[in-house]
Chain A
Amino acid sequence: MDTGETAAGFGGPAPSGAPAPGPPETDRNAGQGGPPFLDAVTVSLHRAADGALRLCTAAATYLRVSCYRAFPLSAPEEWVVFFDGGGAHVGVLEAVADLDEASAALCREELELRYVVPLVRDVLAVREEFAENRWNPALVWDVETERGPFRLHLPNLQDHVRPLGPGRLLLTDRDGRRCVLDPAALSGHGRALVARHLWMDAEQG
């Protein structure tokens, strides 16, 4: 039998015995009808025997919990939204860092598994490909990321590079793979490659 699996991204149908979602205790928004918020002090995350994530609040326990980032690009560590195994909205957590250490680690782990958007450590090589158009060639990027080497195919720049605030760029390749690139954090060689191929000044974003 299979054990020890982190279960990010497989919400799936609720297993029998999922508790009826009770009202989370601190509900700042309750009066205004916004989404319920979770109080980081009373929330804890645990890994169940079958690898699924379990969320406990003072009032209830939720099984097979999955978590999402409400602002994946602008605030990846804040406003984390939890759903239970049946797909019911559990609540919004303001900041992962407010959780106790073990829960925060579990939460980050789950988020990283759902959002496969690694940060580029260095650009190793950029190859121009596809003789179709010499002035706007498809670029094949070999990058070293915090999650190992990735290869991205960017058919053009306008649709595949999105500026993310100061200095950072989101690269989305033709197959939907993604990386976040911060040219300032690269080696000199990597920065030169970026400057040569992404002739796009960051201040425009």
Chain B
Amino acid sequence: MADAAVGSCATETGQGRATLAEPTVCVASDLTEAGRSGCRWLLVGDGEVRVLGVPGTWPPEGPPHGAEAEDALRDGRLLLAPPPGAAAGVWEPIRRLPLSEVKGCRVEPLVAAGALVADTPGGPRLLIRFSSALSGDFGLAARAIEALARGEPVVLDPRDLPRYCPHCGRRLQANTRVCPVCVHRGAVLRRLLAFAWPYRYRMALAGALMILGTALAVLPPKIMQWITDGLLYGHWPLPRAYGSVAMLTLLVGALLCTRLLGSAVSVWQERTGIWVGAHIMGSLRDTLWRGLQGLSLAYFDKAQVGQIMQRINGDTQRLQGFLTDGVQYVAGQVLQLLFALIMMLGTSWQLTLVVLLPAPALLIMSYLVWPRVIRYDRRLWQLFGRLNVVVNDALSGIRVVKAFGQEPREVSRFDQVSRGVVRQSVLTGNVWATVFPIFGFVSGIGGLLVWYVGGLLIFHRAIEFGAIVAVTGYMGMLLGPLQWFSQLANWTLTSLTSAERIFEVLDTEPEVLEAQDPVDLARIEGGISLRDVHFGYAPHIPVLRGITLDVRPGEMIGLVGASGAGKSTLINLICRLYDPDSGAITVDGTDLRRVRLEDLRRQFGVVLQDTFLFDGTVAENIAYARPEASRPEIMRAAWIANAHEFIVQLPDGYDTAIGEGGARLSGGERQRLAIARAVLHDPRILILDEATASVDTETERKIQEAIGRLIRGRTTFAIAHRLSTLRHADRLVVLDKGRIIETGTHQELMEHRGKYAQLVEAQRESARLQGEVGIGA
């Protein structure tokens, strides 16, 4: 009988047809219940969750726009897709589930896809499937359904809604508001210019110098024309014997002077340009850095620090290259082209036309050929990158390679990639070797035509020979930039997009904002209470689900639970590194969101799991939160932290350089430095995150002693995987899957024989096993 229901897309029939004119939730999916591409709707209304299927593909009728979804959200409705409208009356619901049966709703991540699952008294029930592109949408839907099932209104952060480009309607990627297709480059340029404004005089100078330099560069062909026509062919009425030589000397001298002057001007101009570019970039970088430091932690979580750094590094480098070299190069080439064209027209319009004949061909070739050449080049770089990876792997893992006797394999791995590099080098080299002669040939055709047409014109006495000389000179200046034209345009566009992305970071608003009129809490007593706090880093993955907890001033709370239970997240919320999605946290009766951030930060102290030591001396690290602390104060803090003795015994004492490239401290020593840092900071509320891990018994005793002194008189939250380290705690709070399941003292919880007792038992067991291993080894 169980086997009878095998059909994976069995539809629910009976119960009449669904009509749902005004759904509270409407989200469209792009996968069918059989995991094929198709279109399904999730609707909530009339106290029911329904899934409708309509033939066709996602999105149903053009993408819904951000503004409409935001408006709907204000009315407590989550509409991420246009409701199927009249169709809703026509199509049978594939599935329906009364809201009253929904106890919870969540997104179950699959591979490249996901499923929305409702927990009901009868077990989990699958509602709808979707591709991974829509997990954000259905995460919101899950939260909305949970709220509706509890009989509460739908309250979601509009910032979590999917964003669409207001111009082209494309769905934007998470974390960005820039549509790469519709980037308004004009606006970006204006903004860049605002950064350039302080350097306007230098910029004007650079511009003037560039015009002067280009003007000087286009003079020589003209002078040559004069030499040819006026002197060699004797069209100028000069006394023959003596005047000509003087004139020749004068003109060649002038030629020399223009070249010399041109070079001097160009050096001056380039230097000015580089100065301006570097300074603009410098102030942009400073602004960017300030902006980044001001952002909340949430931004770094969502966008991942590595990615951010890579993006910002890449973007700033690209922009820097463009601002210092690119602008000058592009402007210089364009100016040169214009000037050469003007001079040529002044010399002979007929020859100018002839020269311009191959220009369209060059432009077209430029657009067709360069992308290919660059692709070949990229491929070569990529192969070199692989070669580097192989070498790096084998060298940094040389012990492993030798230990396992895998040298021959490493050699053959290298050989294989190396052969690829050879092959690609030849291919790429061939392309480069072919492209330039072809460009040369096409431009050369113009030269041939100039001689031919010019010769004819001379026969007809329309021009003089000097015109041919001059035009040949200008031809190079005109056709040269044309070959590179597509690349110049691309360089400019890429750099402006980089600029736009940098501005985007600047425009990101911190999520943890200072309240409009913040409450001053000069001295926090330390009473903290949490009321039904819900939170998730991404909207579709709840981490905390309804935490309620009251902590008296000076109390020490030990947080216990498996990894992923939400301990660190709870701490992050108490420190206000994030704000809860719903519910509230108060300190001394004031909502955390209303307290002045500075007061909060000043009176919260943390001793973190991985103690971060900054580049600097031991003393500077201890005094990180209070750089003005005196030496006796620093020593007192170190003394309390049981760190004073080992510090003094270091050759450089408190002046020992630590951090990158500095002295190596053991894990226990680093932890005691962190404790000293917290002692000096003298916080009212203290966070200990796994303060003792992997240290010997004696060191552990010292750390415990230090912690015992540190927590006196402070409200303390401690996380430790090793339950024995929580012995100072007044109360233990056991978390499981984002909920508090037990609270009480160690004694009470052991007697209760619940989760905590289990954890303690498991840890004793593993400690015993480790002990055995230790003896055996």
Contact = CB atoms under 8 A, between A and B. Distances in A.
Interface residues of B, number: 57
A9 B31 CA distance: 14
B37 A114 contact: no
B758 interface: no
Contacts of B126: 5, 7, 10, 51
Nearest to A46: B2
A6 B124 CA distance: 12
Contacts of A149: 37, 57
A135 B328 CA distance: 23
Given A116-B111, A135-B490, A145-B37, A15 B123 contact: yes
Contacts of B773: none
B627 interface: no
Contacts of B749: none
B374 A10 contact: no
A10 B132 contact: no
Interface stretch (A27-35, A89-97, A124-132, A184-192): A124-132
Contacts of B375: 135, 199
Interface string A98-140: 0000100010010011111100000000000111111110100
Given A49-B2, A132-B497, A135-B371, A158 B382 contact: yes
Interface string B296-309: 00000000000000
Contacts of A46: 2-3
Contact of A12 (B112, B119, B181): B119
Interface in A12-48: 12-13, 15, 46-48
Contacts of B5: 3-4, 47, 49, 51
B125 interface: yes
Nearest to A144: B37
A64 B108 CA distance: 15
A7 B108 CA distance: 11
A46 B378 CA distance: 53
A13 B119 contact: yes
A30 B42 CA distance: 46
Contacts of B6: 4, 47, 106
Contact of B110 (A116, A145, A150): A116
B1 A9 contact: no
Interface string B162-196: 00000000000100000011010000000000000
B238 interface: no
Contact of B132 (A135, A158, A176): A176
Contact of B112 (A131, A134, A138, A176): A176
Chain A interface main SS type: loop
Interface stretch (B7-15, B462-470, B527-535): B7-15
Contact of A134 (B57, B125, B181, B371): B371
Nearest to B130: A116
B420 A132 contact: no
Contacts of B490: 133-135
Contacts of A129: 181
Given A2-B97, A4-B7, A116-B110, A132 B494 contact: yes
Tell which of B125, B173, B181, B382 has the most Cβ of chain A within 10 Å: B125
B2 A175 contact: no
B8 A178 contact: no
B379 A199 contact: yes
A74 interface: no
A204 B389 CA distance: 14
A3 B181 contact: no
B33 interface: yes
B110 A5 contact: no
Contacts of B95: 2, 5
Contacts of A72: 111
B2 A116 contact: no
Contacts of A64: 123-124
B180 A130 contact: yes
Nearest to A133: B494
A168 B126 CA distance: 33
A181 interface: no
A147 interface: yes
Given A4-B7, A113-B35, A54 B110 contact: no
Interface in B419-433: 420
Given A50-B122, A114-B111, A172-B112, 15 more contacts: A6-B8, A7-B126, A9-B110, A12-B124, A47-B6, A49-B5, A102-B3, A132-B494, A135-B370, A135-B378, A136-B378, A147-B36, A148-B36, A148-B38, A177-B113
8 contacts: A9-B108, A50-B125, A52-B123, A109-B8, A133-B494, A147-B36, A148-B36, A176-B112
Interface of A: 2-13, 15, 46-52, 54, 64, 72, 102, 106, 109, 112-117, 129-136, 138, 145, 147-150, 158, 172-178, 199-200, 204
Interface of B: 1-8, 10, 12, 31, 33-38, 57, 95-97, 108-115, 117, 119, 122-126, 129, 131-133, 173, 180-181, 183, 370-371, 374-375, 378-379, 382, 420, 486, 490, 493-494, 497
